[in-house]
A and B are shown apart, each in its own frame.
Chain A
């Protein structure tokens, strides 16, 4: 898959008033971050002392119990939220939300091309750029389908195309395959894996599926229950594509599960 990664020639962005050297960071660097939500029942500390790094073109998987602040972490990386303490520095990052959020009034093709339309490409140009990718994800023939006519797996793939076409160097994927059945999920993982090998990006992949983390990532970061912080890190140095039945994969999976507690 080739999406010209016309990485916008922007400066890496710092969210807090971090020092210049932090701003020059490549990839993603989250340091000692604290994030507190105020809710009706008082303050909720989502993250406390959370640190995470992703080198350029590295895939880092984040696993952790529900509600430990994984989505919060991704939104911080993408600049959709600001930390209450600590620093977040990242190259331009695009957030792929937990829900597919396809626009119900647009075709699958126009949904995928949305980032191009936002960047003021003409509708024709945007469609021309998005169309070839449909075949590669097994979506050919569904370009003109409306979102409600697609299966959950197809919708997720369209949402993933939309994320890729945003053309940013960092992808923050929030449980991109959570709503898929086992078989579709394996296919989806396979195309993500090959897509990233053909066109490497820096990826922070949140998942609750430890096996998925081990199959796809270079590193797996395990988070504690809320308030979330990194409690363990596993390096996955296995050749790709990885098979879930591979004994090395199984062993790493067991270790990650142990770290999760």
Chain B
């Protein structure tokens, strides 16, 4: 119970401090709306928020799915080929330093205002954490387990299927969890680069219209979404990989 209660309490304290600062401080309402105003915006603009949330949520979910699929494929390829690991891995790291802001407009030119450029941006950003964690998981298999598979005359592929792949699943979940937070940011960036709806678009529109409270409401919706998604992944991991949560035992 205190696992829900404590963060909620902390949140309440922080919101209280924010409320007091926004009301008593000298900061303009258009720069920093009070939480109560954000709450009002949440209620008043709920259908607007909901419509745009549905768009962004779809992008995020699909984007993460694409990133996990691509990242997993890439991790497996890197895992099997030393040559690839040596040649392509550094470039992969370097590719992560390219700011999305630079390529986002290009993607819009190429792919238009639809779903495609958003998926590409989200997948590009999430692809890296997934690849790195999955590759780490595949490589961190207990060497004695490898030896065991060898003495049972298992082929390279069988060792992968029976030992390496299952052992790497918890890492894959971790990669997906990390990508949840970045995927939400990526979606906002992508929508701001060129879009006619979505919460990122709504935020971009609200600020010049002095609807700062609405922009904050959109951010609140995004945060809640990220938390729910993260929680769902954590729950899924517990249900699907119960063995990974046992402190005792011969876990790799």
Q: Which residues from chain A sit less than 8 Å from chain B, CB to CB?
A: 75, 78, 80, 94-95, 97, 99-105, 114-115, 117-119, 146-148, 166
How many A-B residue pairs lie within 8 Å, measured between CB atoms? 58
Whether the Cβ atoms of B243 and A101 lie closer than 8 Å is no
Known A103-B166, A118-B162, A148-B243: A95·B147 in contact at CB below 8 Å? yes
Within 8 Å by CB of B158, from A100, A103, A118, lies A118
B197, CB-defined interface residue at 8 Å: no
Within 8 Å by CB of A114, from B147, B150, B162, lies B162
Whether the Cβ atoms of B251 and A101 lie closer than 8 Å is no
Whether the Cβ atoms of B162 and A101 lie closer than 8 Å is no
Q: Return 7 A-B CB contacts under 8 Å, by A number.
A: A75-B147, A80-B150, A99-B250, A101-B250, A118-B152, A147-B249, A148-B248
List chain A residues, Cβ under 8 A from B150: 80
List chain A residues, Cβ under 8 A from B151: 78, 80, 94-95, 166
Within 8 Å by CB of A97, from B148, B153, B162, lies B148
Known A97-B144, A114-B162: A104·B243 in contact at CB below 8 Å? yes
B8, CB-defined interface residue at 8 Å: no
Q: Taking chain B's interface residues, is the majority helix, strand, or loop, or is none over half, making it mixed? A: helix
Whether the Cβ atoms of B249 and A114 lie closer than 8 Å is no
B229, CB-defined interface residue at 8 Å: no
A115 to B159, CA, bound (A): 11
A253 to B202, CA, bound (A): 84
A78 to B149, CA, bound (A): 12
Q: How far is the CB of B47 from chain A (nearest CB, A)?
A: 46
Whether the Cβ atoms of A101 and B142 lie closer than 8 Å is yes
Chain A residue with the shortest CB-CB distance to B170: A105
Q: How far is the CB of B209 from chain A (nearest CB, A)?
A: 54
Other A-B pairs, 8, CB within 8 Å; known A105-B166, A166-B151: A75-B147, A80-B151, A97-B147, A101-B144, A103-B162, A103-B163, A117-B162, A146-B243
List chain A residues, Cβ under 8 A from B149: 118
List chain B residues, Cβ under 8 A from A94: 151-152
List chain A residues, Cβ under 8 A from B248: 148
Q: How far is the CB of A167 from chain B (nearest CB, A)?
A: 10
A102 to B142, CA, bound (A): 11
List chain B residues, Cβ under 8 A from A100: 250
List chain A residues, Cβ under 8 A from B152: 94, 114-115, 118, 166
A146 to B249, CA, bound (A): 10
A148 to B242, CA, bound (A): 11
B6, CB-defined interface residue at 8 Å: no
